[in-house]
Amino acid sequence: MRDLIAAEWLKLRALRSTRWTVLLTVLTAVAAAVIAAKAKPAADELDLSDGFPLADCLALVVVAVSSGAATMISDYGSGLLRATTVAVPARAELVLAKAAVLAALWTVTGAVATVAAFTVSGLMLGDLSFTAEGTAAAFAAATLIAPVCALVGLGLAVVLRHGGTTYVTGVMLLVVAPQLVTANHAMLVPAWQRLTRSYGPPEVVGDLYATVTQAWLAYLLWPLLVIAAALVTHHRRDV
């Protein structure tokens, strides 16, 4: 397993697109924070959610789910997966190695993007503190949305095996669906909004959206269920 993870990391690191994707993701998060800070009326009272603009979350969701899907779609398209399967017959381990590498890469990317965006927001608004109540949970949620979505993208790619279909399905499930359904307690973007207080303080939100526990469960169950489906599908299907 260690050799598989090293091989997947080498393959991902060697791609120039990986470096550009990470860099542009961080820059997009900072740009979204700048725009959100400029748009905030000066008379409004600041709160924790001002450091976590929704645009940052959506950028991380779209890019991470697409990146996660691309790691598998590119192997299907190039035929590399066939050669890899010959060398590594244990298909489950191959998927899990890709998942481990993606989770590590996007956790670091999410952390850098979150800290950078929060810092820029604080400098522009002049009153955001890293030690404010609830900031630790908000930082964790803002950081982990990226690896969670990357794993969802990977799992969808294994199940669907088609690039365009996977990208559209990922965006529809994670970005569009929460806007269309009323009972969105299980959706990732609303979970992010609850944990970062982007809907307001918990006492204001009430029962309209998921509780904190439900939000963390959404973070946990989405990648687990999708990767589990991918493992079953990849084991039973011809490469």
Give the angle 14-63-97 at the CA atoms, nearest 5°.
50
Q: What is the mean pLDDT of residues 142-169?
A: 92
Q: What is the mean pLDDT of residues 37-58?
A: 81
pLDDT band at 202 (very low <50, low <70, confident <90, very high): low
- Calpha distance 54→17 (Å, rounded): 25
pLDDT(74) > 70: yes
pLDDT(239) > 60: no
Token code pair at residue 37: 């800070």
pLDDT of residue 154: 94
pLDDT of residue 151: 96
Give the CA count within 13 Å in the CB-facing half-sphere of 197: 19
Token code pair at residue 119: 């810092």
* pTM: predicted TM-score of the whole model, two decimal places: 0.88
pLDDT band at 91 (very low <50, low <70, confident <90, very high): confident
CA-based nearest residue to 144, from 173, 107, 174: 107
pLDDT of residue 208: 62
Average pLDDT over all residues of the chain:
85
How far from 50 is each of 30, 54, 58, 190, CA to CA, in Å? 13, 9, 15, 16
Q: What is the CA radius of gyration of the chain?
A: 19
- Calpha distance 56→148 (Å, rounded): 15
